[in-house]
Amino acid sequence: MGVILSGGAQRRSRRTSGASAVEGQLREEDVVAAIASIAGDRLQRRIVLGIGDDAALWQPSRSHRSAITTDMLVEGVHFTRETMTLEDAGWRAMTANASDLAAMGARPLLATVALGVPAEYALEEVRELYGGLAAAAASVGMSIVGGDLSRAPVLTIAITAVGEVRPSNLKTRAGARPGAVVAVTGDLGAARAGLDVATNRVALHSEHSAIALRAFRHPEARVAEGRFFAASANVQAMMDVSDGLSTDLHRLSIASACGAIVETVPVSAAAREAAMQTGEDPERYALAGGEDFELLVAIGPRAFAHLSRRFAARFNRPLHRVGVLRAGAGIQFRGEPLTPTGWDHFLTSS
Amino acid sequence: MGVILSGGAQRRSRRTSGASAVEGQLREEDVVAAIASIAGDRLQRRIVLGIGDDAALWQPSRSHRSAITTDMLVEGVHFTRETMTLEDAGWRAMTANASDLAAMGARPLLATVALGVPAEYALEEVRELYGGLAAAAASVGMSIVGGDLSRAPVLTIAITAVGEVRPSNLKTRAGARPGAVVAVTGDLGAARAGLDVATNRVALHSEHSAIALRAFRHPEARVAEGRFFAASANVQAMMDVSDGLSTDLHRLSIASACGAIVETVPVSAAAREAAMQTGEDPERYALAGGEDFELLVAIGPRAFAHLSRRFAARFNRPLHRVGVLRAGAGIQFRGEPLTPTGWDHFLTSS
């Protein structure tokens, strides 16, 4: 961090003379001031030094381990301005990071934000984006402590989030054993249906439309759910479903050296309605849709009934049983092998 | 972090069917495997979980505070492939982050790397870039513990680095008082001269040419120097010189609520030779050139002579006195006000 968000080293482009703004161009100091005013008042007690120096500082918990995760979102790859506002894009980007921390059982603590902003952007647009970032951070108790700011050909958002977890509560993708019940914290596919709504590919019943758009533009990280599972010794493995159930279940299975049998795919009602209109298989919305940010957990079989009752009582919604882990490798679904079919953005056209 | 570097949420582009690679395109799993093989074997003892899960984990020191910094480098803004190799670009990007930690007096511990890679890049190119990132991280004792990977229109490198510092040793930009001596850990302007060499704007004497190119392409973060100053109660403020001495001295002065008088600008001999050829003022190479990654320190006036002798004995090169802080505001240089004239990449053309 140069100033706050001042950008690192090696600016190779030619500078215009003096410190005055080029007509119609963003001035770094204005952007920084705008961002600092949004981020500044939300610092947690343990943040010793926030925005404004070479680095930010915090006092780590003595009894916890620290967790770190990073995600980069690129306009045209991960989002387009046609399908969501900049505030939504900021919210989603921060939520994706919080979700990764939730998946470890960690409590989110702080985040840094590196923004690449096209030259034609107005200060108001950066402020809008940052409003979404700050709101999502605050919603899970995270402080934005610093970042970087650069010009870039398309809007680029790179977030790093830090959280903390007790060593005894840590959950990873590994450690699940054959026989474990696989479950997710919510039904899946609504975010994908929301993309269909946002691109006018489908027109849903108003309640489904609102649910789908919210899942797509304003998802919630399952932080409380993650900490609930983290506290249970019967939860053998955990991760978030960010790339579609089939891809992410493959990852959990591989990390745990198991196979899996999928019995039921919990498809959101909004995704079912969207699938009816697009003619696609509704289960594909859940298996390959991605970005639902629910948690995928592997639970010891004898503990499942009790834990799912406790989950329902605590969170007012069901824990969805998806299937079971088995010895061996690969995922079976209705007697057929299920391949990973989530998003791989290195295999995309345009 | 999805897989390791698997990319966050919301991949909006259309996926090609199945998991096979599109002809000539990077496959995410190949990139991830290549990166993991470079990063994987350098984990520090305190890294509990590295690449491969939703987040990485470490055991923070109980007696230290944690420091975090982030920098984004964008091809065409911060570097071009015409002037340095991808390995150099990776080295520089990581060094910029390590330098920010050094400037707090912190010991670098770990880093995450979010890469935006254009579709036309080959796996070998990503590997080369990552080689530079990993080498620079290893050179200061940092482990790369994870990251993210996305397609992007131009190469985009967002790094976040975490370090640790004893509360008693922490140095910020604030806290310096009028009368303090301002000094830098090396002469300045060589990186800017290196850009001139790399773009064939100048042709330097071979020794100067090598020094300039090294400063530009392969700078070192002053981690040991930062910890040396951090241990001294007579060092009142510290930061790194990443945006040119005049800009960065302004920042330190403002943070410390002081003015400053610049007496001498320590210009690298390579920069002097380059300036002779370009007809520019050699001092501008040091004042506005940026990216030298030396440390700028404010030292109690009575301690300066002793501390600079100890510095010279320890690091085998002089500590350069630049000037003094004074009451008031603004920077004076030869009786004239010196304006901040470092790089502001929001004020750049192209």
- Give B268-320 as a DSSP string: -HHHHHHHHHHT--HHHHHHH-----EEEEEE-TTTHHHHHHHHHHHHSSPPE
Which chain A residues are closer than 8 Å to B99 by Cβ? 9, 54
Please tell me the distance from the alpha carbon of residue B205 to that of residue B210, in angstroms, as a whole number. Answer: 9
**Residue-level pLDDT at A240:** 95
User: Model confidence over A76-102: pLDDT tens digits?
Assistant: 988 898 999 999 999 999 999 999 999
Gap from B318 CA to chain A (nearest CA, Å): 24
- Note the residue count of chain B: 350
Any idea which residue has 């090396």 for tokens? B186
Q: Please state the domain extents for chain A.
A: 28-168, 171-338
For an interface test with B, the pick among A85, A117, A346 (most B C-beta atoms closer than 10 Å) comes out as A346
**Residue-level pLDDT at B42:** 59
Q: Per residue of chain B (350 residues), what is the pLDDT tens digit?
A: 433 333 333 333 323 222 333 334 666 667 777 777 776 655 677 888 888 788 999 999 989 999 999 999 999 988 898 999 999 999 999 999 999 999 999 999 999 999 999 989 988 999 999 999 999 999 999 999 988 889 999 999 999 999 999 999 999 999 999 999 999 999 999 999 999 999 999 999 999 999 999 999 999 999 999 999 999 999 999 999 988 999 999 999 999 999 999 999 999 999 999 999 999 999 999 998 878 999 999 999 999 999 999 999 999 999 999 999 999 999 999 988 988 765 444 443 32
**Residue-level pLDDT at B25:** 61
How far is residue A306 from each of residues A111, A185, A236, A309, A315, measured CA to CA in Å? Answer: 35, 15, 15, 5, 14
Please tell me the distance from the alpha carbon of residue A83 to that of residue B62, in angstroms, as a whole number. Answer: 46
Surface-to-core class of residue A295, CB atoms within 10 Å of its CB (0-12 exposed, 13-18 middle, 19+ buried): buried
H/E element, B147: strand B143-151
The beta-carbon neighbor of B145 closest among A68, A163, A255 is A68
- Ranges A207-211, A308-312, B2-6: which has the least confidence: B2-6
Select B28-168's CATH number: 3.30.1330.10, 2.170.150.70, 3.10.20.30, 3.40.50.720: 3.30.1330.10
Surface-to-core class of residue A24, CB atoms within 10 Å of its CB (0-12 exposed, 13-18 middle, 19+ buried): exposed
Please tell me the distance from the alpha carbon of residue B293 to that of residue A226, in angstroms, as a whole number. Answer: 41
Is the pLDDT assigned to residue A349 strictly greater than 50?
no
Is A285 near chain B, with CB under 8 Å?
A: no
With contact defined as beta carbons under 8 Å apart, do A205 and A276 qualify?
no
**Residue-level pLDDT at A175:** 92
Please tell me the distance from the alpha carbon of residue B226 to that of residue B221, in angstroms, as a whole number. Answer: 9
**Residue-level pLDDT at A44:** 73
**Residue-level pLDDT at B15:** 30
How far is residue A134 from each of residues A27, A142, A340, B227, measured CA to CA in Å? Answer: 21, 9, 34, 33
Chain B residues 186-225 with a CB less than 8 Å from chain A: 191, 195, 219
Secondary-structure percent of chain A, ordered helix, strand, coil, rounded to 5: 35, 25, 40
- Give A163-213 as a DSSP string: EEE-GGG---SS---TTPEEEESS-B-HHHHHHHHHTTS----HHHHHHHH
The tokens for A306 are: 């009790």
Angle B230-B232-B235 from CA coordinates, rounded to 5°:
80
With contact defined as beta carbons under 8 Å apart, do B299 and B256 qualify?
no
Q: What is the Rg, in whole angstroms, of the alpha carbon atoms belonging to chain B?
A: 21
Task: Give the dihedral sign, CA A22/A14/B217/B186.
Answer: negative
**What class does CATH assign to B171-338?**
alpha beta
Gap from A306 CA to chain B (nearest CA, Å): 27
Please tell me the distance from the alpha carbon of residue A162 to that of residue B146, in angstroms, as a whole number. Answer: 13
- Output phi, psi for A79, to 5 deg: -160, 160
User: Model confidence over A57-80: pLDDT tens digits?
Assistant: 999 998 999 999 999 999 998 889
For an interface test with A, the pick among B54, B249, B287 (most A C-beta atoms closer than 10 Å) comes out as B54
Q: Which is more confident, A344 or A289?
A: A289
Residue B25: CB atoms within 10 A of its CB come to: 17
Q: Which is more confident, B274 or A288?
A: B274
Please tell me the distance from the alpha carbon of residue B170 to that of residue B155, in angstroms, as a whole number. Answer: 34
- Give B221-236 as a DSSP string: --HHHHHHHHT-TTEE
